[in-house]
Amino acid sequence: MIQFETLNEVSLKVTCRGNHDYIFVKAGAFIAGECNGGKNFKFNKVLLGPQNNAAQAIFGQLARRVTGENLPLMKVEFSGDSVTYYANNQQHVVVCQLGIGERLSVESENILAFTKDCDYNVRFLAQGVISQKGLATSTLTGKGPEAYVAVLVDGNPIVISNMNSNSTLEADPDAVVCWIGADPDLKTDLSWRNLIGQSSGESYMFEWDAHSPASVIVQPMERTSGLDVSMDGSRSGSRPSTQSRITW
């Protein structure tokens, strides 16, 4: 049995009960561990990817190269009861438990760890337009009772959802970390003002309407945008990297 939980906001605690289990973790993220008896876990580099067969792994590796989605992983194998801890540069950690068939879409750099009950895949979404990264080209789908995913967030996360309502959600793509549910539509608001450097700074948005139910995790730190349509060279969809608030 594997269980994920957040510890002190910035660390992931993984509890293993039993033998012959394993998880996938961001390479180099291990910080401490405690075993019942001698050391009973080990680390192995994942060369191609976490897919179950070689063909899928090779395709995933090629897709990550095309999309710019770097996913350096290690496999942590357990041979007995243990508790291990993981972190990455003091980023906040959010744990999601997925139901069977439930899909989480996330940018690969925000993945800290996931269990073997998650089916990993790669798909194309907004590459080279919305973000300098390959935004949300990684997906993790629950396929068992212990489908845990730990994601990394810059700052305290904000969670918005229209799963139980008919509301419309709007979010800056450069601040979106991940979502569970339907994919968003991309809404743009470009005009002549953008061409003379007089944009509002919010020229494009992700939108989930009443027909696209989702729960979205947003971070209070925006990535540098890959889109620039202004004459003065200012990026129309981004704010200075030191800013840590979101305006709605």
Q: What is the pLDDT of residues 46-104, one digit of tens each?
A: 865 665 555 555 555 555 555 555 678 899 999 999 999 999 999 999 999 999 999 99
Higher-confidence residue of 135 and 93: namely: 93
Residue 212: predicted pLDDT: 94
Higher-confidence residue of 127 and 25: namely: 25
Is 7's pLDDT higher than 80? yes
Fold of 2-153: Double-stranded beta-helix (3.60.160)
Cα 230 off chain centre by: 30
Residue 121: predicted pLDDT: 85
Residue 186: predicted pLDDT: 83
Is 116's pLDDT higher than 70? yes
Is 233's pLDDT higher than 50? no
Give the mean model confidence (pLDDT) for residues 205-216.
93
Residue 188: predicted pLDDT: 75
Domain edges within the chain: 2-153, 157-241
Q: Can you spell out the DSSP letters for 90-116?
A: T-EEEEEEPPTT-EEEE-GGGEEEEET
Give the mean model confidence (pLDDT) for residues 110-117.
96
Q: CA torsion, points 17, 19, 24, 26, in degrees to nearest 10?
A: 70
- Residues 6 or more apart whose Cβ sits within 8 Å of residue 229: 190, 194, 195, 203, 236
Residue 125: predicted pLDDT: 67
Mean pLDDT for all residues in the chain: 79
Give the mean model confidence (pLDDT) for residues 100-122.
92
Q: Which amino acid is at 82?
A: S
Higher-confidence residue of 120 and 244: namely: 120
The phi, psi pair for 142, rounded to 5°, reads -65, 135
Burial degree of 132 (CB within 10 A; 0-12, 13-18, 19+)? middle
Q: What is the pLDDT of residues 160-191, one digit of tens each?
A: 999 999 899 999 888 999 999 999 988 876 55
